[in-house]
Amino acid sequence: MNLNDRLSFTIQLSTLLQSGTPLLKCLIIIRSTNNKSKKHWLDKVIQDIQRGLLLSQALRIASCGFDSFYCGLLEIGEHSGQLDTLLTKISNDLIRQEMLRSKLKKILTYPACVLFICLGMVTSMLIWVIPSFEHIFQSFSAQLPPLTQFLLHLSRLTQEYVFVFIFSFFMIALISCYLWIRSISTQRYVDQFFLKIPIFNKLLQHVLLARWTATIAILQQSGVPLLEAMRISARCSDNWVVHDLSVRIYQLLCQGQNIHTSAVLSDSNELLFDPMSIQLLRVGEESGSLTSMLNYLANFHEKKLDENLSVLMETLEPMLVIIMGLIVGTMVIALYLPLFQLGQIV
């Protein structure tokens, strides 16, 4: 189940519960909005609740994409009698996640499209356009310029090995996916690597810190102790750097350290935290307003992400156009240089 499906389910369930509809009837109503002829994950959840299980237990058993953070908050709401309130908090958190994800897609989609178009244009020229010029150049008695010779050589290589390149690309992609799925160490290495890439690391840092601080804040507001909040954060994180951070802070908290000292001593400190965030954690903890400070940090990092994305997009768009123009322009110049030289000789 993807994020949008979880968000839609949560909002529908929260709205129905706030209107006074019993839980089981809420689920049946939500199920009726989907195709009844097809098997649906809610069928199993409804059956489990009819057998006497709690919603949080039924969702855990269903294994349909609801993480420990989601189910943990549901369990708190069930025991406190505030399930509709907790569902509202969860839906707000899911909306925050979706906004962060859409912002990342925004910054990645445009460069990917431009690079794909540029690669397609260059490949097309190397396979179809340049060979037609090569036949013309063969009739010249003069020696071709080095740039033209290089381009012709690259064209011949592309024509001969284009399928080898494509096959190699897909094999590398498949092997990378396999290693990513099967190897935790590979996932951890990739997560750490992205946080070391210049420019991109700042964007990812804001995304991860906004998500992490918002998660801890919601758990704290719901009455979850800080230690348990760290355990839940570690279990539900999809980034190994954040997971390791939560685990290390949990261990240091158990040893009697406070949260800002634990953050400094964690191995993820240099990758994730900036000095200001550490100081604000310290101020929040010492003043007894840690939850408010975590919410402030989440909003702060979201705003910084917006600012950085705007600046990056303003810089990246013309830069990519210039790079694409330079590549295509260089190829065109390389093709017409021999013709210019021939004109001078004549």
Residue 301 — pLDDT band, cuts 50, 70, 90?
A: very high
Average pLDDT rounded to a whole number, residues 331-345: 79
User: Is residue 78 in some structural domain?
Assistant: no
| pLDDT at res. 343 | 63
Same domain, 27 and 118: no
CA distance 219 to 8: 21
Q: What is the pTM of this model?
A: 0.78
Distances (CA, A) of 94 to 211, 218, 241: 10, 12, 21
φ, ψ at 277 (rounded to 5°): -65, -40
Same domain, 41 and 128: no
- Between 293 and 141, the more confident residue is 293
Residue 242, number of CB atoms within 10 A of its CB: 22
Look up the CATH number of the domain holding residue 271.
Answer: 1.20.81.30
Average pLDDT rounded to a whole number, residues 277-299: 92
User: Is residue 84 in some structural domain?
Assistant: no
- Please determine, for residue 23, whether its predicted confidence score (pLDDT) is greater than 60: yes
Residue 255, number of CB atoms within 10 A of its CB: 9
When the pLDDT of each residue in the chain is averaged and rounded to a whole number, the result is: 87
Residue 127 belongs to what domain range?
Answer: 94-346
| pLDDT at res. 104 | 77
| pLDDT at res. 46 | 92
Same domain, 144 and 19: no
User: Is residue 241 in some structural domain?
Assistant: yes
User: Is residue 88 in some structural domain?
Assistant: no
| pLDDT at res. 16 | 93
CA distance 314 to 210: 23
In the chain, helix, strand, coil percent, each to 5?
Answer: 85, 0, 15
For the chain, how far is it from start to end, CA to CA, in angstroms?
70
Q: What tokens does 17 get?
A: 């519960």
How do residues 146-182 score in pLDDT, each as one tens digit?
998 999 999 999 888 888 888 998 999 899 888 877 8
- Please determine, for residue 346, whether its predicted confidence score (pLDDT) is greater than 60: no
Average pLDDT rounded to a whole number, residues 316-341: 87
How do residues 132-146 score in pLDDT, each as one tens digit?
888 788 777 778 889
| pLDDT at res. 345 | 54
* Least confident window among 54-58, 67-71, 254-258: 67-71
